[in-house]
Structure 1
Amino acid sequence: MPEILRSIGVIARSLDSISNIEFKEIELTKGQYLYVVRIGENPGIILEDLANIIKIDKATASRALQKLEKNGFIERKNDEINKKIKKLYLSEKGKEIYPFIKRENEHSNNKALQGLTNAEKDQIKKLLSKVQKNIESDWDLVKNGGKRIY
């Protein structure tokens, strides 16, 4: 069995490292770009849903969001019906950097898929979606207190 997860990990860490270096100029620190993108894609998202999309625990997401809010990239607004619910939005500063982050993402996607045919791109997307679903079921299990059987 090929070590596919090792390759996926190298790709993910490489792209994350590149982004962290490039995004220093817009005052984003390690991994914060991911939150900005997901909030930009999902205005009004709540913490729990954001954490689930990114696949991290709520406490980690909450700390990252506090930093982003303190640095002026995001805003929390009360839900109109349930005031206890805080919805997340990009601030003006967040909206200004969002296109730059999206361009970097598009560039990284193009670089990663360079030299692949359209059929190969479709195939890799389908296969990685299956892998993601497989892993997400374990993530949900462990996140909710379950144990995987090896």
Structure 2
Amino acid sequence: MKEILREIGMIARALDSISNIEFKEFDLTKGQYLYLVRICENPGIIQEKLAEMIKVDRTTAARAIKKLEIQGFIEKRDDNFNKKIKKLYSTEKGETIYPFLKREGDYSNKVALSGLSKEETDLLHNLLCRVRKNVEVNWDFVKKGNKRDY
């Protein structure tokens, strides 16, 4: 069997490393940009949904969110109906750098897909979505404290 997940992992780590280096000037490190981009694109998202979207555990998300809040990139606001719920919003500082983060993401996407036709790009996207959905089943299973049977 081909080592497809290794290839996906190498791509993800390389792009993450590039972003961490390029976003250092904004004081964004260790993947914080992922959280900020998702919050900018989904104003009012709750922490649990954000963690699920990025595929990290709640503790990891909480640390990154707290750091972004301390740095002034995001803020938490009470929900109008349930005071226990805190919604996440980008601040003016976060909104100011979002276009740069978006441009970098679009550029990385363009570089990664260079040489692929529209049909190949669509096929790759569809196949990767299917792979992600397959993995999500195990992710949810393990996240709930279960062990996979190899």
Q: Distance in 1 between matches of 2:133 and 2:84?
A: 32
- Per-residue CA shift, 1:44-93, capped at 9, x if unaligned? 00011111101111111111111100000000000011111100000000
The answer for the alignment partner of 1:45 in structure 2 is 45
TM-score (norm 2): 0.99
The equivalent residue for 2:62 is 62
Structure-2 residue corresponding to 1:15:
15
Aligned to 1:4: 4
2:38 matched to 1:32?
no
Aligned counterpart, 2:144:
144
Q: Which amino acid counterpart does residue 57 of structure 1 have in structure 2?
A: D
**By how many angstroms is 1:25 displaced?**
1.0
Query: Structure 1 vs Structure 2: percent identity of aligned residues?
Result: 64
**Between Structure 1 and Structure 2, how many residues are aligned?**
150
RMSD: 0.6
Give how far 1:17 is off: 0.1
Q: Which 4+ stretches in 1 moved above 6 angstroms?
A: none
| Cα distance, 1:146 vs structure 2 | 1.3
User: What CA distance in whole angstroms lies between the structure 2 residues aligned with 1:99 and 1:136?
Assistant: 30
Counterpart Cα distance in 2 of 1:29 and 1:113: 25
Flag structure 2 segments of 5+ consecutive residues without an equivalent: none
- TM-score by length of structure 1 reads 0.99
